[in-house]
Amino acid sequence: MSSPFRTYAAISLPRIVSNFQSIKAVAEPGSQVAAVVKANAYGHGMIEVSRALASAGARWLCVSSVEEGIALREAAVAAPRILVMGGYFSYEAEALAAFQLTPAVHSLEQIRELDSAARLAGSPIAYHLKIDSGMGRLGTRAEASEILATIAETPHASLEGLLTHLASPSDFSSTQTAEQTARFREILDALCDAGVKPRYLHAASTGAFAHGRAETFCNMVRAGISLYGYVPRTRGAAPPQHLAVKPALTWKARLVTVKEIPEGALVGYGGTFRAPRPMRIGVAGAGYADGVMRSLSNRGRMLAAGRPAPILGAVSMDLTTIDLTHATALRPGDEVTLLGEEGGARIDAQDIADDAGTIPYEILCGIGARVHRLYT
């Protein structure tokens, strides 16, 4: 795919749907796959991706905020259920009911707030209760007896699901996942013994189900970065990866200029690169305002004429300079690849993350708003 834009991301919706189907195949038979589309679908475009997944049969979409959930409803995305995972504020409780959003509740006080909102709305509000089983972030640390007492006091709020968030599912050198799973099961068993049986149970995200951590499987799994073609790296003695997915996004930029520089010439702000020989350089029309991380200065690379082209000097706001000594045919207006495949060479988000000293999530989510998204 080519385009007239200075910089653009080409996104394969069929690839995302194929990844979704692969995830369903490794989940427990009959379980739901909740598709995580928060943060603009990890940079891929929340509305377009959500529509494709809903058409492919996704019954649950997961967002971070009430605002994201409202955006999906206003776009008439066909998915029947939207789970707000990242917390909400008390003044947003009415919007949960108005837009038929299902909140992940993180405290007993929030259950009481929902009960009040549901009573005023005249209809019950279903929620999923998040258990802080050891991550130490969102979720309640209340004992089962406290949870049961609160449920008994809040008849207008309906406990539909129970979830937790695993902090280290890809780390097989740690006991944290086993400890968190045991705590989650302890709470669940106590609720069930008291006759409270949530319909949906979920703990596993990509790192857990991609490597067959069956003890974390329930009747729902949350698929995040795997939808977009990536599986977190493991630590320790990990079993074989059960899941095969492929990246869905290619990011390109056009060369604004191409020029020859002599030996000793300085490149970029601060003159942090000095040409060791006569060189041919190109200036790509994307910089840190577009998501090319500044930490890639003198470290990262793009693909030009099917080969790696090192980044020279400091990444600036709108432009990034690369070595085109090998690419004598390229001219201003030609495209280079920031992320994707070209001529048999490949740079994916994990490769860029390695160069930048971060994780692929940040690379994908950091692709800026002025990078045009084009869909196939």
Which residues are the active-site residues? 38, 269
Exposure b/e, 229-246, CB count within 10 A at least 16 = b: bbbbebeeebeeeebebe
Q: How many CB atoms within 10 Å of residue 221?
A: 24
The CA distance from 41 to 50, in Å, is: 8
Q: How far apart are CA 249 and CA 333, in angstroms?
A: 21
Pairing of β 307-310 and β 273-274 = unpaired
